[in-house]
Amino acid sequence: MGATPFSFYEFFAGGGMARIGLGGRWACAFANDFDPVKAATYRANFPDAAEHFHEGDVWKLTPADLPGRADLAWASSPCQDFSLAGARAGLEGGRSSAFFGFWRLMQDLSAEGRAPRLVVIENVVGLLTSRGGADFAALGEALAAQGYVFGALEIDAAHLLPQSRPRVFVVACRHRPPPGLAGDSPFHTRAVRAAHAALPEALKASWVWWRLAAPPARNTDLAALLEPDDAVAWRSEAETDRLLSLMAPIHRARLEAQRGRAVGAVFRRTRIEDGRRVQRAEVRFDGLAGCLRTPRGGSSRQTLVVVEDGRVRSRLVSPREAARLMGLPDSYVLPGPATAALHVTGDGVAAPVVRWLAQELLEPLLAPAAVLAAE
């Protein structure tokens, strides 16, 4: 018989990507999301969803909805108010205030003696600097007030997947880590160190520099995840020419320098040039897609260009390609409409990043020897 699985609650679960990343050593005791498309996707992918998934507002949940005491509470709370593309309203913003609905539950569980042993809060890197660091400090104070020590790691999914997707993972634990789980990490980025430096001195006593090694070098690039050329819809030559016309000289030169077959990822952005707002198409040929985003909001859907034998073709990233860029298997059931599928994938957490974090830090923190050493 195998070891008893670790248990977890997954808040703002979306399509269950954190659950997929955690893997078979983890058992989901409760999951929640407000979005009906994401909820339907979760149910389509997890046959046991009827036993533990709750669709609805996190503010309407009570501790009675959460069974037992979980080893982990995972929260990928809405990030729009932290995003550099947003208004930077911070934790007081309408969407990110959902975090406090989650945290109210954690406080109530703590009062009942059922506080999760670990809490992971995943968000955009803007969490570290929102309102000049005040939001990050408020988050740390909330964790420390409930008896958690905490630290942050900035992990780019590009370490494990051909997608540039930096995210912050705040890991909080009810006990001090044993030797070996605290120390240096390549994920203590400049932004993480600056956020720590800006914390009140008293709060720094609850900080932990989590040790997390870098994973082995990634051996897959963007081209390897793409659908066959004859299985996707390509833009017309006129549409491609229009895209190329939006490129600044440096990006046109980058495209024209390609030899053989080359796959590039393109984002449309608005730049200020000579005091005017100008729409630009920017291309990269480093084997990475840019950060996937939801098709609604401030960023356009990501485009691919393929250069081959002097010919340039372009098309949109397909939903299945987006799922692969999030580390999801081809068996993962996506919503039928492309916009809905891209909403689910673009608003999720990269599953292999979760697996690496769980394998190298979360599971060792929950190992009996680690808990005993800390008591």
pLDDT digit string, tens, across residues 248-272: 999 999 999 998 899 999 988 888 8
pLDDT, tens digit, for every residue of 294-342? Answer: 765 434 578 999 999 889 999 999 999 999 999 999 999 999 999 999 9
- In the chain, what are the domain boundaries? 6-218+349-374, 228-317
Q: Is the pTM of this model over 0.75?
A: yes
Q: Is the predicted pLDDT of residue 89 greater than 60, yes or no?
A: no
Q: What pLDDT is attached to residue 92?
A: 57
pLDDT band with cut points at 50, 70 and 90 for residue 91: low
pLDDT, tens digit, for every residue of 113-170? Answer: 999 999 999 999 999 998 888 889 989 999 999 999 999 999 999 999 999 999 999 9
Q: What pLDDT is attached to residue 83?
A: 40
CA pair distance 121, 150, nearest whole angstrom: 10
List residues bridging with 277 in a β-sheet. Answer: 272
pLDDT band with cut points at 50, 70 and 90 for residue 93: low
Number of C-beta neighbours around residue 149 at 10 A: 21
pLDDT, tens digit, for every residue of 334-363? Answer: 999 999 999 999 999 999 999 999 999 999
Mean pLDDT of 8-36: 97
pLDDT band with cut points at 50, 70 and 90 for residue 3: low
Strand ranges (E), the chain: 6-11, 26-33, 53-55, 72-75, 118-123, 149-156, 166-173, 261-273, 276-284, 303-308, 311-316
Q: How far is CA 152 from the centre of its chain?
A: 14
CA pair distance 294, 167, nearest whole angstrom: 16
Fold for the domain defined by 6-218+349-374: Rossmann fold (3.40.50)
The residues, any chain, with a CB within 8 Å of residue 113's CB and separated by 6 or more, are 69
pLDDT, tens digit, for every residue of 39-80? Answer: 999 999 999 999 999 999 999 999 999 999 999 999 997 765
Judged by average pLDDT, the poorest of 7-21, 126-140, 180-194, 317-331 is 126-140
Q: What's the angle, vertex CA 99, arms to CA 97 and CA 101, rounded to 5?
A: 85
Q: What pLDDT is attached to residue 61?
A: 95
Q: What pLDDT is attached to residue 1?
A: 40
